[in-house]
A and B are shown apart, each in its own frame.
Chain A
Amino acid sequence: MTAGGVSIAVIMTIGLLAVIATRGLAHFWPADVIEATYQIPGEAPRVMAGELVQAEEVPRARLAAAGLPVEVKGGEFMTRELFKVGNRDVYGADFSWVVDEWMSDKKTPEKMVVMERREWGNFYGYLVNVKESGNLVAEGDAAWDELQKRITRIDELHAEITKLEKKDIGRINYGLEGLRLKKRSLELKDELSPAAQADLDAERAQWDAEYKVLETQLVALNKEFNRDTVTVKTVDGREQEISLGKVVRAYQPNAMGIGQKLSFYGAKVWEFVSDDPREANTEGGIFPAIFGTIMMTLIMAVIVTPFGVLAAIYLREYAKQGPLTRTIRIAVNNLAGVPAIVYGVFGLGFFVYVLGGSLDRIFFPEAAPAPTFGTPGLLWASLTLAILAVPVVIVATEEGLARIPRALREGSLALGATKAETLWKVVLPMASPAMMTGLILAVARAAGEVAPLMLVGVVKLAPSLPVDGNYPYLHLDQKIMHLGFHIYDVGFQSPNVEAARPLVYATALLLVLVIALLNLSAVFIRNHLREKYKALDH
């Protein structure tokens, strides 16, 4: 009987991971596109095409209750299938539920083209021709190769435009903002002399000139970018023209072999981890979220390690072991169990409003009323997480210190070393794996925590990364994106949840993998350590 408990727990864990893994991984696979004739009884038949996403058996009665003209007779169940039909600009929705029984004439035509677009989601249909500035370039079978060639060109152009917009123009904007702040700061100090004003104006003129040059470049590039168009036809015969600038990639899944599919799969996975999100986070990659998570955890680790270790050493080596120390130890232990949201509230109230507010008043009066540090941001998110994770590090380090046999310490002291020397040369090196374990656990906890971050600096879409080419390179006041929050936001607040769902599964899988890896390595280090000290005890 009791064995059942274990089995259920194990099954639940593995089942959960399996569901997330299959759903997350399947997303990138180029599934076959099915074309079929669909006829709801009593309505005209129509041709539709799409990828099969999900199929389920539904009792007849429930479909009837949903208002479908289901015949009463027949089997107990009907198969209901969810198709991704794409073409949101034409049909209004990406997805469509159909009843399997009413579909006929299923086939997977090789010429079927899927186009990923920068807006309006995927397109499913057939390629008609490719045009350059309105003039026909290729038609029929030749159009496909021409299209691929031109998409490569578009990709290069897109990269160039992004670089121009983000890097160069971003630098200019940053410079201009710096000038504005400088001027305001001089005004506040009453030191804005005509000479200083002239200096500022000259500098501004320089930036403006630079901007003019870039702007003309950008306009030219954009014109090039939108030069080509492609004419396509949906399966029910509607033709439309799509600017190639809107197309990310085009492929013919039904014509792909397994090898091609695998390489396509690899490309999609790479895009997922290395690209910016598109279409309100429902498409594209999650690179900014990964970067934000890593940045935040890194800063947290840098803060938390010295302080956590310091507190642990104090508690274990220096504090007098009495009831007070015991109480403190219990309290620290318990803080690890305090709900994370409480830390979030503290972070918002104390760090952001009190600390950040005062920093702004003292150091950035010129930016007022726009807050610099008095608003949620990277630094506060890291600090909040540090407070949250410090008990974990303290507990783990203390445990490590306690495991070091007394004999070693006494030996060192007997040889004439001072306490500090003993600590530095004997105790700490031996306890370092324990500290590592604590740090890894802390990082794992911090990486997976979302609730407090929602309050102190994580947003759904950060305009830029916290690290860039503008001085001081690391922008601690910026808001960041975060994997966990990304899951919450895309899964629950997205306008197109159905389309975003596979992406959420994939993101979840990534997060689980990272955290599982961190935890397993902590477990491994811990077990390894135990063995080592067991040997020392004898």
Chain B
Amino acid sequence: MNDLANETMTAPSNSSQRLDFNTPALLRKRRSRALKDRMARWYVSIGGLAVLAAITLIFFYLAYVVMPIFSGASIEAKTEQQPGWLAGEGKPLMLAVEEQNKVAMRLNTEGHVQFFAMKDGSALTNFDLPLPAGATITSHSEDQPGSRRTIIGLSNGQALVFKQNYAVSYPNNVKTITPVLQYPFGEEPIALDPQGRPLEHVAMNLNGDNLIISASTGNELHVLSMTNEENEFTGEVSQSQERLSLPQMAEPISSMLIDPRQQWLYVFNGKSAASVFDLRSKTLNGRYNLLSGNAEVTAVSPLLGGISLLIGNSLGGIDQWFMVRDNDGKSALTHIRGFQMSDSPITQFMPEERRKGFMALDAKGNMGIFHSTAHRTLLVEKVADGDAVAALSPRASRVLVESNGTLQTYKIDNPHPEVSWSSLWGKVWYENYDEPKYIWQSTSANSDFEPKLSLAPLTFGTLKAAFYAMLLAAPLAICAAIYTAYFMAPALRGKVKPVIELMEALPTVILGFFAGLFLAPYVEGHLPGIFSLLLLTPIGILLAAYGWSRLPERIRLIVPDGWEAALLIPVILLVAGGSLSMSGHMENWFFGGDMRLWLSNDLGIAFDQRNALVVGLAMGFAVIPNIYSIAEDAVFSVPKSLTFGSLALGATPWQTLTRVVILTASPGIFSALMIGLGRAVGETMIVLMATGNTPIMDMNIFEGLRTLAANVAVEMPESEVGSSHYRILFLSALVLLSFTFVMNTLAEIIRTRLRKKYASL
């Protein structure tokens, strides 16, 4: 580099007039110039690198947003607590935590309910359940996740329903939570066993005003249906009771569950059998064997929504079952998926109240965090020594564990359990479906609903759209490129290239709107015409060429070499006009006047107005110029020496083209196709406007589709920031980015190689 600042310059010595280049002024000037030069260098380097960094930032930012969905869960133990009141409380029956993670509840075997602060374990209020004299608690069970209702079975054959309620108030601007107990069906216990034997197991469900309780003694089942009826005029509440008589069990009952729609009663009996009763018709639906071998059912629980059952066994395995309707409309309890947690018996389930996830405890004190639909085991960690009782907070952010007389809170970080590799790309068996399916359904009005986030139908739609587009664009663009580069007269070439470049510059929103508003209805009305057009055009061109070659030389020589394309324009217009105007006639002759009806009635093919055919046509249009310009470049840069050599050896131009030019240019043409495919895959506006955006998996050319890109455009504005849905949309953007980036890079590398090869020829 010219280091002017520190150099003294030597003037030519033989000159009579000595020029002094080292005057202070000049030195100063040189120094400032050098400084400017160095500053410019730094400025440009830093600026340039910053811009390049900003561009690569896209990739990293997308990846950064996507990352969390694939990371598992983590738990963090808070300090152990051994509050004074705990010592005299006896054994815990159940624990519960309220919404804000401030207050927790503990119920012991004597019916004493203690509320305490989560933070330090200090005692708040306490209540005694109104048990009849001499009665003790023999069993308990909770209603659906999130209901806060509990039923306890007593030693005198009665049962009591109570509900935890947390009233929030703001005295003196301080948020205060006041816990209370409520008895929705009165403080008087409800008699279930007429003979007054202890209830070994209980279950309940409240749906609206209708309560169903079931209890068991040995292998005997007592089921009671109760309704709270409010008199409209007096406001008095009266209760009506009905005892449901169901077929008896052969083996002792181990637990029971009632479906929240109050249709099914699941009774687990013996080692691992389940009898399912239809409560509406009061009949047995069937007996199912849940486990094979020696394993025993040790814990059961409903999942959020109550459709699925979680069944834990003595070998540390967990299975999800639900009722599946078969083709005849008969429901059967079906095994959906299984998890393996440890090798000791599962003792307790804690279903989440907002998602289809759950946690489980085993006899050794391990806790596992799972998600049912995603089939994910997020974490298994030891939280207690030996047997424990635990409660999950409603937002699934805390777990309270009691074992050996100590209370311990764990903080759970589990933001995206519902996404897994298998749920994104594989078939998933969702609740209420009769078989595993690929489904994209990100939003719904129902709160029990789980988002169905399978990227498979979207990816399929993307590829389907790209496939039909390439079907049209690839042959057209390559033919056009070969002709322009190889045969066409330079004068015509100068006119054609700008037209195709203009085609490239057309905004896709225009193509999309054209396809959606003009092409789609037009294609619908002229189906036979469109198909005959696609079929007849190549034939017409060949016929025209044949006819031309038969014409006397006098006429043929009028048109110079390389102008054939211009000649063909009227031919193609003729064919197109002909087949479109014949469209109606053809419909009358072949399809009884309406091809659409014929398709759906006679062939059973569904037809949407905005379908893959329209997308293929419109997107083909968008892709043609991309393929064309690169393929043309490749063909054009085939060294002339090769073609001349071939022609000189007596090959016809056609032979030269097929055996020399195309072969040499084939890598270039291939890279052109890859770039075209990349463009077709990422195209958004055309598919958004020209398809019905229906996420279905069907190769039918007459049905709509939804692509990854269009899906992002449709759903991104409504997506909640940071939610799984949001991150999955980022994931689809990342997939698109990587796909096109890889495609383009490969194409670029092939092209560079090719260019080098030609250079050496």
Contact = CB atoms under 8 A, between A and B. Distances in A.
Interface of A: 1-14, 16, 19-20, 56-62, 64-65, 76-77, 307-308, 310-315, 317-319, 328, 330-335, 337-346, 348-350, 353, 387, 390-391, 394, 413, 416, 418-421, 423-424, 444-445, 447-451, 454-455, 484-485, 487-488, 491-492, 497, 501, 504, 508, 511-512, 515-516, 518-520, 523
A5 B480 contact: yes
Contact of A488 (B2, B36, B621, B689): B689
Given A14-B499, A455-B717, A488-B509, A3 B487 contact: yes
A79 to B, nearest CB: 12
A6 B55 contact: no
Interface in B598-654: 621, 624-625, 628
Contacts of B573: 11
A349 B55 contact: no
Contacts of A508: 510, 513-514
A337 B712 CA distance: 18
A59 B587 contact: yes
B588 A519 contact: no
Contacts of A344: 712-713, 716
Contact of A339 (B584, B628, B736): B736
A5 B51 contact: no
Closest 6 CB pairs of A and B: A61-B593, A314-B48, A339-B682, A448-B507, A5-B479, A5-B480
A449 B675 contact: no
Given A4-B568, A390-B51, A416 B2 contact: yes
B685 A423 contact: no
A338 B505 contact: no
A451 B685 contact: yes
A21 B486 CA distance: 33
A368 B48 CA distance: 37
B508 A448 contact: yes
Contact of A340 (B62, B584, B684): B684
A421 B33 contact: yes
B251 interface: no
A52 B1 CA distance: 76
B585 interface: yes
Nearest to B486: A2
B505 A515 contact: yes
B127 interface: no
Contacts, number: 322
Interface string B485-513: 01110000000101111110111111111
B541 A307 contact: no
A57 B517 contact: no
B509 A7 contact: no
B703 to A, nearest CB: 19
A427 B197 CA distance: 101
Given A7-B572, A20-B514, A346-B61, A454 B541 contact: no
A59 B593 contact: yes
A393 B606 CA distance: 47
B593 A62 contact: yes
B593 A19 contact: no
Contacts of A349: 61-62, 65, 730
A74 B283 CA distance: 65
Contact of B716 (A2, A5, A348, A416): A348
A3 B52 contact: no
Nearest to B526: A56
A445 B501 CA distance: 13
Interface in B558-577: 564-569, 571-573, 576
Nearest to A420: B40
A368 to B, nearest CB: 16
B273 interface: no
Nearest to B541: A4
Interface residues of B, number: 115
A387 B502 contact: no
Interface of B: 1-2, 4, 33-34, 36-37, 39-41, 44-45, 47-49, 51-52, 54-58, 61-62, 65, 475-484, 486-488, 496, 498-503, 505-514, 516-518, 525, 537-538, 541-542, 545, 564-569, 571-573, 576, 584-585, 587-588, 592-594, 597, 621, 624-625, 628, 675, 678-679, 681-685, 688-689, 709, 712-713, 716-717, 721, 729-730, 733-734, 736-737, 740-741, 744-745, 748-749, 752
Nearest to A492: B689
A14 B576 CA distance: 15
B41 A5 contact: no
Contacts of B588: 59-61, 76
A27 to B, nearest CB: 14
A25 to B, nearest CB: 15
B565 A310 contact: no
Given A65-B594, A419-B41, A508-B510, A3 B565 contact: yes
Contacts of B624: 9, 12
Contacts of B479: 1-2, 4-6
A332 B57 CA distance: 13
Given A337-B675, A488-B689, A491-B513, A387 B54 contact: yes
B4 A6 contact: no
B40 A419 contact: yes
Contacts of B58: 342-343, 346, 387
B499 A451 contact: no
A391 B55 contact: yes
Contacts of B475: 5
Given A5-B477, A387-B54, A62 B594 contact: yes
A19 B514 CA distance: 9
22 contacts: A1-B545, A2-B487, A4-B479, A4-B565, A16-B506, A60-B588, A61-B593, A61-B594, A76-B585, A77-B584, A307-B47, A314-B44, A314-B52, A334-B744, A337-B675, A345-B712, A349-B61, A390-B55, A418-B34, A418-B37, A447-B507, A488-B689
Contacts of A331: 55-56, 741, 745
B517 to A, nearest CB: 6
Contacts of A342: 58, 62, 682, 733-734, 736-737
B92 to A, nearest CB: 42
Nearest to A13: B503
Contact of B47 (A314, A319, A485, A515): A314
B748 A330 contact: yes
A451 B709 contact: yes
B608 to A, nearest CB: 15
A181 to B, nearest CB: 24
Nearest to B593: A61
B736 A491 contact: no
A536 B585 CA distance: 64
Given A11-B573, A338-B744, A450-B508, 4 more contacts: A62-B587, A311-B52, A331-B741, A418-B37
Nearest to A347: B58
A488 B721 contact: no
Nearest to A451: B684
B440 to A, nearest CB: 17
Contact of A333 (B54, B566, B744): B744
A444 B282 CA distance: 72
A418 B2 contact: yes
